[in-house]
Structure 1
Amino acid sequence: MAMAVGPASGDEDEVMSAINTTPLVDVMLVLLIIFLITIPVVTTSIPVTLPKERVEIRETKPENVIISVNPQGDIYWYDAKVPNEAFLVERLKRVSTMKPQPEVQIRGDLASKYGGVGKVLLACQRAGITKVAFITEPPPLGG
């Protein structure tokens, strides 16, 4: 490594105008290594569009179909219990032919298992329902 000692003329009052770039190069190399390590972690191989969470006020319209699932997994069409999934699919097929197609709103109990809600979603898919929404309660204020 060389050291600049100034001109050979012996005049000590001259200002040296060279900038030492060695620390800058060291910092840039460290940043380059950090970026090379973190970029593969951030990127994924499968491109997906993730859902965005938003608070939306929904209006309940009379033509909307409300299906509830209680903690035991029983399915209710408004207030009437649905005897089986085939019956639910047939009722939803009648709804799917309406113009415009009403929205199916699913009210799943917090303590219910995923199976009951999954059965309703599968029935909606089989019947050709295009508008499905989940009814939830807003979180308490301040929490």
Structure 2
Amino acid sequence: MSMNVGRTSGSDEPQVMMDINTTPLIDVLLVLLVMLIITIPIQLHSVTLELPVGTPPSNAIKPEKIQIDIDEKSAVFWQGLPVDASELDQNMRALAQLNPQPEVHIRPHKLSQYAEFARVLSSSRRIGLTKIAVIGSEQFVK
């Protein structure tokens, strides 16, 4: 194997180099980058919190649970006893006055009318009950 190290043309003039030398450009950019990194202040993304020390108090008061059932004929039951709309509203108003408010569990039957469920739910929200849960929704999944 051989390598040509001599001039390829027959003239005595050196060949013109057509490539740009990028080494000085890269050196200048690296210096600018280092200067930029040094001059940027360090950002601390932390928030100082004063947390309480010790054990938290136990919640000895368990909220009462009220069960409202709606059967397949769209009849409403309060804790297992049948009630009409006025009795239901009266019972809910009494619950809204209690402190702490009890949890209201509404359990509609799969064949009950949605309008009855919506009426019970909207009246409980209108009266001011805030702890409402719909129980038994897995029966609606096919």
Name the TM-score, length of structure 2 as normaliser. Answer: 0.50
1:95-135: CA deviation from partner (whole Å, max 9, x where unpaired): 11111101110010011110121121122023210111011
Deviation of 1:66 after TM superposition, in Å, equals 0.4
Residue of structure 2 equivalent to 1:105: 105
Name the CA distance, whole Å, in 1 between partners of 2:137 and 2:121.
20
Name the CA distance, whole Å, in 2 between partners of 1:134 and 1:99.
22
Structure 2: gaps (5+ residues):
1-61
Name the CA distance, whole Å, in 1 between partners of 2:131 and 2:96.
10
Name the CA distance, whole Å, in 1 between partners of 2:105 and 2:97.
17
- Higher Rg of the two aligned structures: 2
Name the TM-score, length of structure 1 as normaliser. Answer: 0.50
2:118 counterpart of 1:114: no
Deviation of 1:138 after TM superposition, in Å, equals 4.9
Deviation of 1:62 after TM superposition, in Å, equals 7.0
Name the CA distance, whole Å, in 2 between partners of 1:85 and 1:126.
14
Residue of structure 1 equivalent to 2:80: 79
Structure 1: gaps (5+ residues):
1-60
Residue of structure 2 equivalent to 1:65: 66
| Distance 1:138-1:121 versus aligned 2 partners, 3 A rule | closer
Query: Which segments of structure 1 move beyond 6 Å, counting only runs of 4 or more?
Result: none
Q: SS state of the match for residue 130, structure 1? A: coil
Residue of structure 2 equivalent to 1:123: 123
Alignment of 1:1-143 (within 5 A): 63-82=64-83, 84-136=84-136, 138=138
1:57-91: CA deviation from partner (whole Å, max 9, x where unpaired): xxxx6711100000111000011000x21211111
1:76 maps to amino acid: F
Name the CA distance, whole Å, in 2 between partners of 1:72 and 1:122.
20
Instruction: Give the percent of matched residue pairs that are identical in Structure 1 and Structure 2.
Output: 30
Q: SS state of the match for residue 106, structure 1? A: strand
Residue of structure 2 equivalent to 1:46: none
Name the CA distance, whole Å, in 2 between partners of 1:115 and 1:137.
16
